[in-house]
Structure 1
Amino acid sequence: MTAATLRTYTCKDLAQMAKKEGVTGWHSMRKEELIDALAKAARRRKRRGDSPPSVEQNGKSTSNGTPRLTPAQRRAKSRIDALRTRLSQLKNISTSEEESATDKDRIVLMVRDAYWLQALWEVKPSSVERARTALGHNWHGAKPTLRIYKVLEDGSSTLYRDIAIHGGVNHWYVDVGEPPSQFRAELGYSGANDTFYCLCRSSKVATPTPGSTDAVNGNWSDVAENADRIFAMSGGYSAQGTSMELQQLLEERLQRRMGRPTETRFGNGAGAQAEDREELSFAVDAELVIYGATNPHAHVTVEGEPVTLRPDGTFAVRMHLPDRRQVVPVVASAPDGVEQKTIILGIERNTKELEPLVRDSMRSL
């Protein structure tokens, strides 16, 4: 303990410390004399390798010459520690306490409709520690980030949006525009000087043309109730297929296979005796969804019927699609009635019913 440190103590505290050090004549010494005697005692103790004695300072027990905190100081320190813990939790985006919970890091993009994606991820704690080491001094200011890229027609990607996320969650809804478009995502930490440490990447997904999904399903339901629709919109039934990560994720969560019905729902037990089999009933109809956009205060009609515009001037109309050719006029008029524009839609529905196909169930036995 140096003389400068000892001068921060009161004369009473120094006298108590001198008494415990065994300084001769401590009771008659002044403050500077006590400081000098204690400094010499500290040097002797340092040479011997002894520990300093605990003392009482202003009625508070101290050890190693450091005073204990007052109640107010302890409360302040507790709040600071809690804040540091909370900040650490917000930065930690690992989704499992044990390494065995997931064998790899992964992020999956799912298409919810034309304007919304849902990102789901699983990250190991060890991966977060690797990010901390890789970012080094940039870790202090690093932020968990969900990075969305737009995939262009030539296959290249351009940064579409950075979304600041936080720990304690494993999914995020992302609003996107310009449908139909293709997107992919990366999950990681963004630091200073545009540094970005990527933990995992998703496969690309394509949002559908707006209108039909908006009109049919205005509200989201649980993934379990709409799993097949989400799987289809994310490319599950397309010729290219969807990402294996998405298929694995849905199968893990729903505890069933995902794929075409002929691949997942029919098997050896699906067959029945011909005389016991109930005849398959099947009927199909169709609706037409017309959507567009104009000035918010314009007047729009479809086949002469007025259409209600949304606040941004967009609109969507559902109407029956008969099995024939038809012409649908869509007319927009300016609020003052001076200008009018007309678009004619020529639409033809041609429905054909093919001969039924009856599979021989004995072939799969």
Structure 2
Amino acid sequence: MMTANKLHSYTCKDLAQMARNEGVTGWHAMRKDELIEALIKTARRSRRTGGDPAAKGERGREVIEGSRSEKLNREESVRQAGKISAKRRQAQKQLDLIHQKMAKAKDLSCAAGDQNDEASGDRLVMLVRDPYWLHAHWEIAPSGVQRAKSSLGQFWHAAHPVLRVLQVDESGATLSRREIRIHGGVSNWYIDVADPPCQFRAEVGYAVEGGDFYCLARSNTVTTPAPGSADMVDTNWSDVAEKADQIYAMSGGYSHGGVSIELQELLEERLRRRLGRPSQTRYGHAVDPSRGSEMELALDAELVVYGSSDPHSHVTVMGEPVAVGDDGSFVVKMHLPDRRQVIPVVASSADGVQQRTVILGVERNTKELDPRYRDVATS
């Protein structure tokens, strides 16, 4: 039964829809009270004429419910579309972040900071730490990376930055020993090497599949010292300033092939002083013999004896036992007097059955030359 109280529970829009379905004339211009009154009159006429107002009312409600359901479906579709769009934006943001990280890892100029592109250029410097370790330092300008990108073209996306270590033989020919994958954000690398003494140099650039390599910079050639050599730099690189001249010499600074400009520039920039032979870098007034003071120079020497045997053997040098490492190596440092001497090195097996002896003959002959004086030069 359609009553006034029940009709009041509907909105004006719902009542208008019901009035249209019932065929009420002028329903679109009626207010809510007028729509209720017209619907009640229509229901009464339907009862008098034998119609089924309940069925008609039910159809009206179905239309209203259908309209509401359609509206809810549209709203839900909008919400779902918004969620999908938000997820896509988040996924794209993460993808962009991954691309940025990959680009930064590939960019070797990232470690250059605010250095001037044209002033710094592209350079790679090799330093010797000890017989088994080298230190590579590079500075790559953004323009260098851009040149590599342009040259590699479609292969750039698969290229990765590498540090190539090359061994140099006596004829000057090079043999590739290894490729070290590096990344942007760093400008130096420690490299472990073997077979001292040996010559090495390095190249930094981009490698692609198939073995192709685009070189950005080549280093100076360095020579690792023999194990136990007095040229070893046993301390950490924190004392580079103190060991600068020694490192410069070990890394080819005074080689017959000429001074490594990149190495000299790098160390001079870090130390803020010139490097080279004293006659070239430390000009000053010569000593005047009339002053009555002589420059003193005292000299002494040590001998480093090293070798290898069975890890479980007993080794003596000049009758004194020395420690043998897990790999069978041993090293001993001893005073080298100014004369000839014979040094027996004896290795005995752990069970005492076998014994081997090597005799080392060395001679030190020290001569002191007359002092020389340089003419006083005025500048």
Q: TM range, normalised to the smaller chain? A: 0.7 to 0.9
Deviations along 1:259-300, one digit per CA (max 9) or x if unpaired, are 111221123xx4576666753222111110001112222211
Distance 1:140 1:302, change over 3 A: same
Contact kept, 8 Å, 1:215 with 1:316, in 2: the verdict is: no
1:138 shift after superposition = 2.6
Residue 354 of structure 1: how far off its partner (Å): 1.1
Give the C-alpha shift of residue 76 in structure 1.
Answer: 5.3
C-alpha deviation, 1:212, in angstroms: 1.7
User: Could you tell me how far apart the structure 2 residues matched to 1:195 and 1:248 are?
Assistant: 30
| Correspondent of 1:92 among 103, 107, 116 | 107
**Selected match of 2:79 from 58, 68, 82:** 58
Q: 1:175 to 1:303 in 2, by over 3 A?
A: same
Query: Given residue 342 of structure 2, which amino acid in structure 1 is its aligned partner?
Result: V
- Which of these residues, 219, 226, 229, is aligned with residue 212 of structure 1? 229
Structure (1 or 2) with the larger CA radius of gyration: 2
Q: Which residue of 2 aligns with 1:46?
A: none
Letter in 2 for 1:353: E
Aligned residue type for 1:149: L
Aligned 8 A contact 2:124 2:219 in 1:
yes
In structure 2, relative to structure 1, the CA distance for the partners of 1:100 and 1:91 (3 Å cut) is: closer
CA 1:273–1:157 in 2, change beyond 3 Å: closer, same or farther? closer
Secondary structure in 2 matching 1:183: strand
**What's 1:245 paired with?**
262
**Cα displacement (A) at 1:249:** 1.5
How much has 1:147 moved relative to structure 2? 0.2
User: 1:264–1:314: structure 2 CA closer, same or farther, 3 Å change rule?
Assistant: same
1:83 is aligned, of 98, 111, 117, to 98
State the partner residue of 1:127: 144
CA contact (8 A) 2:131 2:232 kept: no
Which structure 2 residues correspond to residues 218-297 of structure 1 after superposition, within 5 A? 219-267=236-284, 270-271=285-286, 278-297=293-312
- Greater CA drift, 220-229 or 305-314: 220-229
Residue pairs, 1:105-124, within 5 angstroms: 105-124=122-141
Identity of aligned residues (%): 52
Residue 141 (structure 1) shift:
2.6
Q: Aligned partners of 1:181 and 1:296: how far apart in 2?
A: 25
SS at match of 1:212: coil
Instruction: Report what 1:305 is aligned to.
Output: 320
Q: Conserved in 2, the CA contact under 8 Å of 1:150 and 1:159? A: yes
Tell me by how many angstroms 1:235 deviates. Answer: 2.2
Distance in 2 (alpha carbons) for counterparts of 1:277 and 1:80: 79
* Inter-CA distance 100–127: structure 2 relative to 1 (3 Å threshold): closer
Q: Provide the residue aligned with 1:180 in structure 2.
A: 197
Aligned-pair CA distance for 1:336? 2.1
Structure 1: which amino acid aligns with 2:78?
Q
TM-score when scaled to structure 1? 0.76
In 2, the alpha carbon distance for the partners of 1:228 and 1:330 equals 35
Q: Which amino acid aligns with 2:316?
A: T
Are 1:334 and 2:355 matched, yes or no? no
Q: SS at the partner of 2:241? A: coil
Please give the per-residue CA displacement for 1:93-138, whole angstroms capped at 9, x wherever unaligned: 1143565363421111112222111111111112112222322333
Stretches of structure 2 lacking an aligned partner (at least 5 in a row) = 1-65
Aligned residues: 309
Report the 3-state secondary structure (helix = DSSP H, G, I; strand = E; otherwise coil) of the residue aligned with 1:185: strand
Number of the residue aligned with 1:357: 372
Whether the 8 Å CA contact 1:189–1:197 is kept in 2: the answer is: yes
CA distance in 1, matches of 2:125, 2:137: 5
The match for 2:171 among 147, 154, 166 is 154
Q: Give the distance between the partners of 2:230 and 2:90, measured in 1 at CA.
A: 54
1:60 Cα deviation from its structure 2 partner: 6.8
In structure 1, the residue corresponding to 2:280 is in which secondary structure?
A: helix
Distance 1:307 1:78 in 2: 64
Is 1:99–1:125's contact at 8 Å kept on the other side of the alignment?
Answer: no
Instruction: Give the TM-score of the pair, scaled to structure 2.
Output: 0.73
The Cα shift of 1:78 comes to: 4.5
SS in 2 for 1:222: helix
1:68 to partner: Cα distance:
3.2
Matches within 5 A, 1:342-353: 342-353=357-368
Letter in 2 for 1:342: T
Q: Give the distance between the partners of 1:345 and 1:150, measured in 2 at CA.
A: 31
The alpha carbon displacement at 1:323 in A equals 0.9
Once the two structures are TM-superposed, the CA of residue 184 in structure 1 deviates from its matched residue by: 1.3
Q: CA deviation at 1:61?
A: 5.4
**How far apart are residue 80 of structure 1 and its match?**
4.0
Establish whether residue 316 from structure 1 lines up as the match of residue 331 from structure 2: yes
**In structure 2, how many angstroms separate the alpha carbons of the residues matched to 1:218 and 1:117?**
14
